[in-house]
Structure 1
């Protein structure tokens, strides 16, 4: 059964990115079910994510700089909680 309910990790990712980058659009997609039993799957059901974010903060920044901004906003979560994250970051109008 697929649930649209966000878990605590996805909720925290959303809160941190919203606070740091004031996105015009933000989607936090839990991909953990696709990785069940693989390396990095801690059994929590919240270890692998895709983040799609649009923010004016990304204007003039290249892809690597944008990913660093997202990682910085998430801080210790990237080290302690999240095993893998795909980041799709764009500025408005891109």
Structure 2
């Protein structure tokens, strides 16, 4: 009998599927950074994504971010509070350190 694993991170899976389908990335990392914020344990509200795709060739950085935001518009309207985007071309990725920098600590909002 085959058991299907219970998916306890549906938002992350939705993000992964959509980014994969839209950008056919050569590299994709999705970091759930919700634990760094004042949210209940197990939340899926704050994410950082690293998307490396040839579809970003000849596309300015701001437009790359807009493309990712468009693909994830439903997630951003339905639970994702913050999305940090790193969008690179394959050549940029190859020339990089291939390390995604850690996000800064949450200041708790309201300029604290």
Q: What TM-score, normalized by structure 2, do the two folds share?
A: 0.71
CA RMSD of aligned residues (A): 1.6
Q: Pick one of 25, 41, 44 that aligns with 1:46.
A: 44
Structure with larger RCO (C-alpha < 8 A, sep 6+) = 1
**Aligned equivalents of 1:69 and 1:22: distance in 2?**
13
Task: List runs of 5+ in structure 1 lacking aligned partners.
Answer: none
Which string of whole-angstrom CA distances, capped at 9 and with x for unpartnered residues, describes residues 5-51 of structure 1?
Answer: 8711001100000011111100000000001x2xxx4x351000000
**C-alpha deviation, 1:52, in angstroms:** 0.5
Q: Describe the SS at the equivalent of 1:69.
A: helix
Which string of whole-angstrom CA distances, capped at 9 and with x for unpartnered residues, describes residues 41-90 of structure 1?
Answer: 4x351000000010011001111100011011112111222100110000
Alignment length, in residue pairs? 85
Task: List runs of 5+ in structure 2 lacking aligned partners.
Answer: 1-6, 93-112
Q: Describe the SS at the equivalent of 1:86.
A: strand
The equivalences for 1:8-27 within 5 A come to: 8-27=10-29
CA 1:60 to 1:6, structure 2 compared with 1: closer, same or farther past 3 Å? farther
**Aligned equivalents of 1:89 and 1:17: distance in 2?**
11
**Aligned equivalents of 1:74 and 1:17: distance in 2?**
8
Q: Which has the larger radius of gyration?
A: 2
Once superposed, which parts of structure 1, at least 4 consecutive aligned residues long, lie more than 6 Å away? none
Number of the residue aligned with 1:32: 34
